[in-house]
Structure 1
Amino acid sequence: MFAGISTVDLAYLVDNYPAEDTKTQALDQFIGAGGPATNAAVAYAALGGASTLVTAVGTHRLGDLIRNDLSAHGVRVVDVRADSDHQPPVSSIVVAESAATRTIVSLDGARISVEYDHRLADRLSGVNVVLADGHYPVLAAGLCERACALGIPTVLDAGRFKDSHTALLPHIGSAICSAAFAPPGIAPGDTDAVLTYLRTAGVENIAITSGGEPIVGLTGDREFRIDIPETRAVDTLGAGDILHGAFCYYTSTGLDFVRSLALASEVASFSCRFFGTREWCTRLSELPGRGTPRPEA
């Protein structure tokens, strides 16, 4: 089960970033559902898992685009704001092919009020991993607290530190952070301090990602380092989200934290070969060594 924000992603592929106050002809265009938990849910389903996304979509016409895209990619949607006419956040994205980088302008989910409904606990039956992206903190904390009580592993996708993480971390078993994750008083990039902070908060398994640099982390008393597979990157959009979804898939098959991360990094690197966050799903036959177990989430 994946819990978090759903956006409408509108991405353009260009040779180079446009100059200010110019018009640019795009090489390609992608429109689909986005957001950390959303892309992770799609990745989990693409690898063969049964995936559920708990999010806020609502009745706005843009919500149909989100629902249709997720349905087409095998993700079940639980809409906790099904009666709301709010407009889903729209992310405008420019991907520069020459640099294999992306620039994003977007609203987060702060304008959408999302609470935790205790009836959601009934949907945890049969679930073997819960991931939260932290965008709807009350929802995330409620689901993760209940999952912990039921013995279900919980995962946090922690890009940048949010104040709401303080209440969420006691209910998190595994945290996968970006190098930009910097709690108060800790400088960005201070890996040792971040590891200490998260371990003190009660997180057992911790990983810090940094694009194409090695993943470093701590599981139990063991420190580890995972080298990222080399790839000819076209687009890094959603690569971190895809890594989280793939990690959930592999850990659901019974693999340990480090092995699951290593395999997930291969999937995330593979996804960077293609523009947008969906084409890689159709090219999985080109990914060597992909397993076939089908866990539930």
Structure 2
Amino acid sequence: MSAAVFVGLTTLDIAYLVDNYPAEDAKTKAVDQYLGAGGPAANAAVAYAHLSAVGPTLVTALGAHQLTELVRSELVACNVAVVDANPASAQQLPISSIVVARLASTRTIISLDASRMSAPFDDTFVDVLDDAHVVLVDAHYPDLALGMAGEAQRRGIPVVLDAGRWMAAHDAILPLVDVAICSSAFAPPGVDDVVGYLRDRGPAKVAITDGANAIRYSTPEGVGVLDVDAVEAVDTLGAGDVLHGAFCHFTAAGHEFVDALDRAAQVASLSCRYFGSRRWMTHHSVES
């Protein structure tokens, strides 16, 4: 199996597990904590690496800040190769602060995302596409997404878009995308028919995820829904990222769109049973 390339945001995640959300101006003792690499592209790359046992490449921005080594070392330990689009930057890596409420099975995230980090595209980055069967972009770094997706399209490599929420960059990126997997929070301004909007702008295959609810999908052959496994959720943090990484794995392994989406949803559901973005991997048997 050839590897995949993931393009987009990497953060440092600091997550706390509590029974209930803290009251305002209060102190709360956490039940558990997690510290590690996060962000849509990074989490998806880690999930892919676990499922495929083939090291993918993550094209992102890390920089030279002292916090970066925490993230870089974990990614390397997870068998993810990193191409840093801004290695000399002294800007602090984006930090996501997360509270996971166990009894509500919900999480709240506060993050700067990519708002203070620069990630210019360089033509040399496309060398990592030589052995790739799939490319995922998350649009947090538009220049990187456009450059890598454009080259992947020229080479005939399928491009998957992870769209958790609407970003202005999506208008330029969508014509380069083959598969768009969006959350129900993806809401382009003035658009009622999100699936139709996506299909009109490029992607032939579209899926809309909605947490524990069924996944809606559309292909040239028709539309349908996929039920999501009911699980006793502890933490939904990163579940969407796991789904995207798993989808890329099953796609690269030769599964057709609906089957790959169904299998990926099963893995994402499993991940919700465990706190943090990695613990699910110790409870999952790798399969193709």
2:116 aligns with one of 111, 118, 139: 111
Query: What residue in structure 2 maps to residue 140 of structure 1?
Result: 145
Query: What residue in structure 1 maps to residue 287 of structure 2?
Result: 291
- Secondary structure at the residue paired with 1:13? strand
Query: What residue in structure 2 maps to residue 176 of structure 1?
Result: 181
- The 5 Å alignment of 1:192-271 reads 193-271=193-271
**What's the TM-score once normalised by structure 1's chain length?**
0.94
Query: Cα deviation per residue 1:103-145 (whole Å; 9 max; x = unaligned)?
Result: 0111010211211101112221011100001100011011000
- Secondary structure at the residue paired with 1:47? helix
Query: Cα deviation per residue 1:140-175 (whole Å; 9 max; x = unaligned)?
Result: 011000000000000000011111000000100000
* Cα distance in 2 between the residues matched to 1:52 and 1:123: 7
Root mean square deviation of aligned Cα: 0.9
* Cα distance in 1 between the residues matched to 2:271 and 2:256: 23
**What's the TM-score once normalised by structure 2's chain length?**
0.97
Query: What residue in structure 1 maps to residue 18 of structure 2?
Result: 14
Task: Determine if the alignment matches structure 1 residue 42 to structure 2 residue 38.
Answer: no
**Partner letter of residue 216 of structure 2?**
V
Task: Determine if the alignment matches structure 1 residue 33 to structure 2 residue 37.
Answer: yes
* Cα distance in 1 between the residues matched to 2:117 and 2:202: 29
* Cα distance in 1 between the residues matched to 2:131 and 2:56: 12
* Cα distance in 1 between the residues matched to 2:195 and 2:257: 15
* Cα distance in 2 between the residues matched to 1:64 and 1:24: 29
- Secondary structure at the residue paired with 1:71? helix
> Percent of aligned positions with the same letter in both sequences?
54
Q: Which consecutive segments of 4 or more residues in structure 1 shift more than 6 A? A: none
* Cα distance in 2 between the residues matched to 1:73 and 1:35: 15
Query: What residue in structure 2 maps to residue 68 of structure 1?
Result: 73
- The 5 Å alignment of 1:45-124 reads 45-48=49-52, 49-124=54-129
* Cα distance in 2 between the residues matched to 1:173 and 1:100: 33
Note the C-alpha offset of 1:73.
Answer: 1.0
Note the C-alpha offset of 1:221.
Answer: 3.1
* Cα distance in 2 between the residues matched to 1:52 and 1:121: 11
**Partner letter of residue 88 of structure 2?**
D
* Cα distance in 2 between the residues matched to 1:220 and 1:125: 28
- Secondary structure at the residue paired with 1:102? strand
* Cα distance in 2 between the residues matched to 1:211 and 1:178: 8
**Partner letter of residue 144 of structure 2?**
L
* Cα distance in 1 between the residues matched to 2:287 and 2:10: 28
Note the C-alpha offset of 1:100.
Answer: 0.8
Give 5+ residue unaligned stretches, structure 1.
Answer: 293-297
* Cα distance in 1 between the residues matched to 2:253 and 2:180: 18
Query: What residue in structure 1 maps to residue 160 of structure 2?
Result: 155
Note the C-alpha offset of 1:12.
Answer: 0.3
Give 5+ residue unaligned stretches, structure 2.
Answer: none
**Partner letter of residue 263 of structure 2?**
L
- Secondary structure at the residue paired with 1:115? coil
Query: Cα deviation per residue 1:3-55 (whole Å; 9 max; x = unaligned)?
Result: 01110000000010000001001000000000000000000001023211001
- Secondary structure at the residue paired with 2:67? helix
**Partner letter of residue 146 of structure 1?**
E
**Partner letter of residue 33 of structure 1?**
A
**Partner letter of residue 3 of structure 1?**
V
Note the C-alpha offset of 1:87.
Answer: 0.4
